[in-house]
Structure 1
Amino acid sequence: MFKLNFKGIPLKVFLLSMFVFLFSAAQAQAQSLPGDHGRWIGTLEGSMVDTQGSGLVYDFQFKEDGTVDVEKSLTVSKLKQTFNWTMEGANIVLSGDASGPIGELSDRIINYIDETRYEFKHVDGVTDVEIRKSKPFWSWMHLVFLFVVLMVGNELSRYYKGVSYLLYFILPIALIPHWLKAGFDGWFRWIKLYSAVAGSVFTMIFRFHNIDGKTWAKFVVMLILAINIAEAVLQDFSQPDLPNLINAIAGVLCMITISRWKGIKRDEEKPHDMLWPGMTTFWILAYDIWNITFVYINFPNTVAFSFIVLLAPTVAAIWIKKGTYLQARAFTLAIYMMYLFSFKAFADNSLGLTFVIPMPRSEGLVMTMALVSLAFNLAYFILHYRWRFTGKAPANLEVGQSESVL
Structure 2
Amino acid sequence: MIFQLYSSSASMQLLGWILVFAGLILINEIGRRTKIGGMIVFVIIPAILTVYFIAIHCGAFGGDANPTMAYMDGWFHYFKLYAADIGCVGFMMIKYKWGLGKKEWFKWWPWFIVAANIMIANVSDLESAWAAYNITGDLSGAWWASNEGVFIYGGWWNVLNCIAGMINIFCMTGCIKLFTSNDKNKSDMLWPDMTIWFILAYDVWNFEYTYLNLPTHSWYCGVALLLAPTFANAFWNKGAWIQNRANTLAIWCMWAQVIPLFQLKGTFAAALPRVYGGATEAGITTMDLYEQAIALYNSNVGKTAAAGQAIEQMGITADPTAQGVIAILSVIVNVVCIMVIIKRSIKAGRNPYSNNVFEGTRDFEEAMARAEK
1:139 matched residue in structure 2 = 13
Q: Deviations over 1:38-63 (max 9, x none)?
A: xxxxxxxxxxxxxxxxxxx9x9x9xx
Identity among equivalent pairs (%): 28
Per the alignment, residue 231 of structure 1 pairs with: 120
- Aligned-pair CA distance for 1:173: 3.3
Q: Which residue of 1 aligns with 2:331?
A: 374
Q: 1:233·1:248 contact (CA, 8 Å) conserved in 2?
A: yes
Cα separation, 1, equivalents of 2:226 and 2:42: 19
Q: Amino acid of the residue matched to residue 162 of structure 2?
A: A
| Residues 150 and 182 of structure 1, relative CA distance in 2, 3 Å threshold | farther
Q: How far is 1:212 from its partner?
A: 4.8
Q: What is the CA deviation profile of residues 291-322 of structure 1, one whole-angstrom value per residue up to 9, with x for unaligned ones? A: 00111111111111121111110111111121
- Indicate the residue corresponding to 2:136 in structure 1: none
The residue type equivalent to 1:239 in the other structure is S
Are residues 1:298 and 2:213 paired? yes
One-letter identity of the residue aligned with 1:282 = W
Whichever structure has more helix as a proportion of its residues is: 2
Cα pair 2:225 2:248 within 8 Å, conserved: yes
How do residues 16-165 of structure 1 correspond to structure 2 at under 5 angstroms? 135-165=9-39
Which residue among 92, 98, 110 is the counterpart of 1:221?
Answer: 110
Relative distance call for 1:158 and 1:343 in structure 2 (3 A) is same
The structure with the larger Rg is 1
1:280 is aligned to 195
Q: Contact 2:94 / 2:102 at 8 angstroms: preserved in 1?
A: no
In the alignment, is the contact (CA less than 8 A) between 1:193 and 1:338 conserved in 2? yes
Q: TM-score, normalised by structure 2?
A: 0.66
Deviation at 1:247, TM superposition (A): 0.1
Name the amino acid aligned to 1:229. I
SS across alignment from 1:401:
coil
Letter in 2 for 1:184: M
Name the SS of the counterpart of 1:304 in structure 2.
Answer: helix
2:340 pairs with 1:383: yes
Deviates more, 1:319-328 or 1:167-176: 167-176
The RMSD of aligned alpha carbons is 2.7
- 8 Å Cα contact 1:199-1:330 kept in structure 2: yes
The reply on whether 1:355 has 2:269 as its aligned counterpart is yes
Structure 1: gaps (5+ residues): 1-56, 62-132, 394-398
What is the Cα deviation at residue 346 of structure 1?
A: 6.8
Say whether the 8 Å CA contact 1:233–1:252 is kept in structure 2.
Answer: yes
TM-score between the two structures when normalised by the length of structure 1 = 0.61
- 1:129 match: none
Residue 267 (structure 1) aligns with? 181
CA spacing shift, 1:249–1:139, aligned 2, 3 Å: same
Alpha-carbon deviation of 1:229? 1.3
Unaligned runs of 5+ in 2: 57-65, 130-154, 276-318, 351-355, 364-373
2:234 & 2:268 partners in 1: Cα distance? 32
- Residues 1:347 and 1:327: Cα distance change in structure 2 (over 3 Å): closer
Instruction: Specify the alignment match of 2:246 in structure 1.
Output: 330
2:260 is matched by which residue type in structure 1?
A: K
C-alpha displacement at 1:155, in angstroms?
A: 0.8
The answer to whether 1:206 aligns with 2:94 is: yes
Q: 1:340 to 1:180 in 2, by over 3 A?
A: closer
Structure with the bigger percentage of strand: 1
Distance 1:341 1:243, change over 3 A: same
Q: Which amino acid aligns with 1:257?
A: C
How many aligned residue pairs are there?
270
Distance 1:255 1:137 in 2: 37
